[in-house]
Structure 1
């Protein structure tokens, strides 16, 4: 059996992130073999994570990282705001985001659990990789509000500043559709079912027109191009884009 020194225990702790006592026990169980101790700790971390896997992930952190014309959006989920502010949790979220831009989404997803398991064991909360996407284009605007509410906008024409203003607007107004063309049949039928009740007592020859007006008003609030711009409510987003000879190629909005 190899001698288990304080230095070896500390090195193992620094590498794995688990507690001193867990590292010491793993080294004892492995006969002082550091590599075997790492395997033992990895198995323990996976087991600890599996026990907590059914806990609700009600909080987390959203990281955005831009590299050239690409931006990665990553959501790392946890149970509480306390852990979302933990330095180790934040570091893993940032490392995974950087990894996504370097090696791609699928390989990052494959690596994520192995990076999270020791943290779950150390902190004692369930954690999981949530949404992960990479958008590409230019000009691009990013608005990240406290790591909880993020929008990214890719423009056709315009400027990065305009794209960021619209991204900020999206985080505030939370549109569900870019334009009326994106309103699908299910959304329309669900809305009709609600508003048909409110016009049930109206004259038959007026019901259709009143219902149409209510639906238009309802969907206007959730359609980005028809919303009034938060920084200048006298203009809609569509008018703002026309004034700047620009359009929106795509956008993504993520919230925790």
Structure 2
């Protein structure tokens, strides 16, 4: 029988796309004298990464971003047909006076912009707008050698 090594487990994960262990960290950020609190659960594949100081800093920075930018969804997969239909109905009224030939393009642009502004992974990072949150996660995945993803966000506000 073959020995099971870290390398064989990594190969199995790579082949199947399934993580053997799910690790991560929860981070919170409080803003405006306690008026806004945001929390993020940032997941990774090993406890080694979850205990890394840079991983914790990334989670905290994303929590700060959530407090500042108030995203509704983590990724575009979370946007439901009902969400899209509700936004579309609002934007259809806004583009009603646009010439017919350009109306659909204007509607699509407004809808895409609305979703992009509210999807965490699509948002420009508040501390460095030249990078998106997805870009930060991609960089972290490359740095740590394993998948890093935001699995939950919450934002609470007094107002």
Could you tell me the TM-score, scaled by structure 1's length? Answer: 0.44
Establish whether residue 208 from structure 1 lines up as the match of residue 104 from structure 2: yes
Match of residue 154, structure 1, among 32, 35, 41: 41
Asked if residue 249 in structure 1 is aligned to residue 148 in structure 2, the reply is no
Task: Work out whether residues 66 and 153 of structure 2, in 8 Å CA contact, stay in contact via their aligned partners in 1.
Answer: no
CA RMSD in angstroms comes to: 1.6
**Where does structure 2 lack aligned partners over 5 or more consecutive residues?**
1-22, 50-54, 142-147
Given that residues 151 and 254 in structure 1 are in contact (C-alpha distance below 8 angstroms), is that contact kept between their aligned partners in structure 2?
Answer: yes
| Residue ranges of structure 1 left out of the alignment (5+ in a row) | 1-136
Match of 1:140 in 2: 26
Post-superposition Cα deviations, 1:72-112, rounded to whole Å, max 9, x if no partner, equal xxxxxxxxxxxxxxxxxxxxxxxxxxxxxxxxxxxxxxxxx
Larger radius of gyration: 1
Counterpart in 2 of 1:232? 128
Equivalences for 1:169-184 in 2 at 5 Å? 169-184=65-80
Shift of 1:147: 2.4
Larger RCO of the pair (alpha carbons < 8 Å, separation 6+): 2
**Is contact 2:42–2:152 with CA below 8 Å preserved after alignment?**
yes
Following the alignment from structure 2 to structure 1, what is the Cα–Cα distance between the partners of residues 124 and 101? 32
Say which is worse superposed, 168-177 or 152-161, in terms of deviation: 152-161
Q: CA shift at 1:188, angstroms?
A: 1.6
Summarize the alignment of residues 1-256 of structure 1 with structure 2, pairs less than 5 Å apart. 138-145=24-31, 146-157=33-44, 159-245=55-141, 246-256=148-158
